Structure 1
Amino acid sequence: MEFPAFHDPQTPHTHTVILLHGRGSDGPEFSEELFESATSTGDNLKTRLPGWRWVFPTARDRWSTTFQEEMCAWFDAYSLDDIHAKQDLQVAGLRESVEQILQILDDEVKLLGGDYRRVYLGGISQGIATALWTFFGGVATGRIPEPLGGLLGFCGWLPFARQLEDLLQSSESPGTQSLRLVSGFFLDTIAKDKTTGFNELLSTSAVSTPVFLGHGADDEWVSVELGRQTSLALSRVMPHVEWSEFRGAEGDGHWIKEPEGFDQILKFLEKGAVS
C-alpha cells in the first residue's frame, strides 16, 4: 500500500479533506497541482483554510487491460467511452481501494475526536469514482455511521451507474430506502459479502451527507454526460447534491476551472464547516 501525502494544518486542526487522484497520477502529484491553482483571491485552498488537514492517498500500480501496462490506478477501468463494458474488471481494484481509503478515513476521524462531520472525501476522475463507492461501502459495513462533512469531486463518473439506475427505479425519493439498495449492491457486487443483517449497521443519517460535483462540458477525457449521469444517480439516493458545469479548464477540460471551480470548492467546504 502506498503512503498518503499529508499537508498538516497551519493552525489548530479543525477539519480534514481526503482527495483521490486520477488514473496515472499519484497523491503527491495531485496535491502539487491542486495547490498550484488559486481561488479568485489569488490564494490556494490550503492558505484559505489554515486549520484544515489535507490527505492525498496514492493508489498502487495495477495492470491496465486497455493500455497493456502497469499504471497507478484505483481499479482497472476498461473504457471511458463505454463505462459498462467489462465492468467485472473493476471489482477487485475497487474492493481493495475502498478498504484502503476507509482505513485512512478511520484514522482521520480519530484525529478529530470521532467527528465524521469534520471529514470530507472526494477526488478527480477515477478518484471520485472510487470515493463514491468508498462512501457507500463505509455506510453498508457500518464504518461510516453518520454523515461526513461532504463528498466532492470533479470530472468523474460512477462505476455501475446503469445497474444503480435500474435498481433505484423502485425508490420514490432520496433517503434511507435508496441508500439500503445501493449498500446492498455494494455488498453483493463489490465486496461480495453475503453476510446478512447489514441493515442493522446501516446509518439512516449518512444519506444527508452533502455532495458537490463539477465537470467540464468540454472534458475530452471523461464525457460530461458521465458526470451528469453520476449526479442524477446520486440525486436518487441523497437529497443534497449540487451539480456544476464549466468550460475552459486546463488539461483539455479535464481539470478544475481556475479560479471559479476553486471558489466553488471553498464555498462548499466553508458552508459545511459552519452548518
Structure 2
Amino acid sequence: MEFPKPHIHHPQGPHTHTVILLHGRGSNGPEFAEELFSSSTSKGKNLPSCLPSYRWVFPTSCDRWSTTFEEQMCAWFDAYSLDNIQERQELQKDGIKESVLHILEILGEEAQLLDGRFSHIYLGGMSQGMATSLWTFLAATAMGRIQGSLGGLLGFCGWLPFAQQLEQLLSEPFLSPGSSQAQSLISRWFFEEIAGEISRSDQPVDCSILSTPVFLSHGSDDPWVSVELGRQASHVLRRIMVHVDWQEFTGAEGDGHWVKEPEGFDRILKFLEC
C-alpha cells in the first residue's frame, strides 16, 4: 500500500532532534502541522519557534475504507466504534499493521539522519494518530526495531486499541514496568494477534526502550474520544513503561478534542526539551 510522502518542517539550524507526529482520522500531515503550529505557548510562540533545531515530520495515512461511515477516508486503520472500542476490533488489525510498518520505516530514516541517536527522536499523535503511534512503539519493542529509549512518546485525545486485552495480559502481580517479562508478553501478543507474516528481528530486544518517557493529555470534555479511553491507555502504559505522565484539561478548542492553549503547549514544550 502506497503512503503519501510525509510533510516536513525543517530545522532553522543544525538538526539535533526529530519529532514525528501522526494526524487523526479524516485529517492529513500538512493539515495537522498547520493546526498544531498555529497554536502558541504562554510566551506567544509556536513550537518550532521554541525549538529551532528540531525537525518536524508529519506522515499522512492512506485512504482506506471506513466500515462505519461507508466511504474512503484518510485513516491509519478502520475503527468501527469509539463508544465501544471492543466492537469489531478485528477490522483494525490490517490497518494497524500496515501503518505501523510505515511509521517504523520513517523512524529508522530519521535515526539515520541523527547518526543512530534514537534518544533524540519523539513519536506521537493526535486522536487516531495517538492510537497508531502507541502501537508503533509497542511493535518496535516486539520487533527490536529501536535500540535504546526514544526521546519521548506523546499523545493527545486518543486511545489504545486492544487496551482491554493488554490489561488482562499484564494483570499478573509479579510484573513490573520496564521489565523483560512485560516486554516479552507484549511481543508475543503482537506477533500472535497483529503481525501476521512480519518477521522478527535477529537482534535481541533492548528492554531499555521501556524507559522512554511518555506524556499523554486529554480533554475531560472531549465529546469525540472519551477521556475514559485516554485514562485506560495511560493505565495500560503504566504497567509497561517506567515514566508515564497524564494530564487532563477542560475548555480546549475543537469542543475539547484538541490540546489546551497555551497550558497544554507549555507542557508539550517542557516534555520535548527534556
Partner of 1:70: 72
Partner of 1:268: 271
Partner of 2:18: 16
Aligned residues: 270
Return the alpha-carbon distance in structure 2 between the equivalents of residues 32 and 188 of structure 1. Answer: 38
Asked if the contact 1:188/1:194 (under 8 Å) is kept, the reply is no
% identity of equivalent residues: 63
Partner of 2:194: 190
How many Å apart are 1:200 and its aligned residue? Answer: 6.1
TM-score with structure 1 length normalisation?
0.96
How many Å apart are 1:124 and its aligned residue? Answer: 0.5
1:137 aligns with 2:118: no
Say which SS state the counterpart of residue 19 (structure 1) adopts: strand
- Show the 5 A alignment for 1:249-268: 249-268=252-271
**1:182-223 CA deviation, whole Å, 9 max, x = no partner?**
12211111112486x779622111110000000000000000
Say which SS state the counterpart of residue 267 (structure 2) adopts: helix
Say which SS state the counterpart of residue 89 (structure 1) adopts: helix
Return the alpha-carbon distance in structure 2 between the equivalents of residues 238 and 26 of structure 1. Answer: 29
Partner of 2:212: 209
Return the alpha-carbon distance in structure 1 between the equivalents of residues 187 and 237 of structure 2. Answer: 13
How many Å apart are 1:130 and its aligned residue? Answer: 0.3
Say which SS state the counterpart of residue 39 (structure 1) adopts: coil
Higher alpha-carbon deviation: 228-237 or 181-190: 181-190
Return the alpha-carbon distance in structure 1 between the equivalents of residues 141 and 91 of structure 2. Answer: 23
Asked if the contact 2:77/2:92 (under 8 Å) is kept, the reply is yes
Aligned-pair RMSD on alpha carbons? Answer: 1.3
Report the CA distance shift for 1:106/1:252 in structure 2 as closer, same or farther (over 3 A): same
Partner of 2:182: 178
Unaligned runs of 5+ in 2: none
How many Å apart are 1:180 and its aligned residue? Answer: 1.6
TM-score with structure 2 length normalisation?
0.96
Paired letter, 1:158:
L
Paired letter, 1:61:
D
Partner of 1:88: 90
Asked if the contact 2:141/2:207 (under 8 Å) is kept, the reply is no
Return the alpha-carbon distance in structure 2 between the equivalents of residues 136 and 193 of structure 1. Answer: 17
- Show the 5 A alignment for 1:75-154: 75-154=77-156
How many Å apart are 1:5 and its aligned residue? Answer: 0.2
**1:30-73 CA deviation, whole Å, 9 max, x = no partner?**
00000000000000000000000000000000000000000000
Report the CA distance shift for 1:216/1:199 in structure 2 as closer, same or farther (over 3 A): farther
Partner of 1:44: 46
1:224 aligns with 2:245: no
Unaligned runs of 5+ in 1: none
Higher alpha-carbon deviation: 46-55 or 143-152: 143-152
Return the alpha-carbon distance in structure 1 between the equivalents of residues 201 and 118 of structure 2. Answer: 20
Say which SS state the counterpart of residue 242 (structure 1) adopts: strand
Higher alpha-carbon deviation: 101-110 or 197-206: 197-206
How many Å apart are 1:172 and its aligned residue? Answer: 2.8
Return the alpha-carbon distance in structure 1 between the equivalents of residues 25 and 157 of structure 2. Answer: 12
Asked if the contact 1:6/1:53 (under 8 Å) is kept, the reply is yes
Asked if the contact 2:17/2:114 (under 8 Å) is kept, the reply is yes
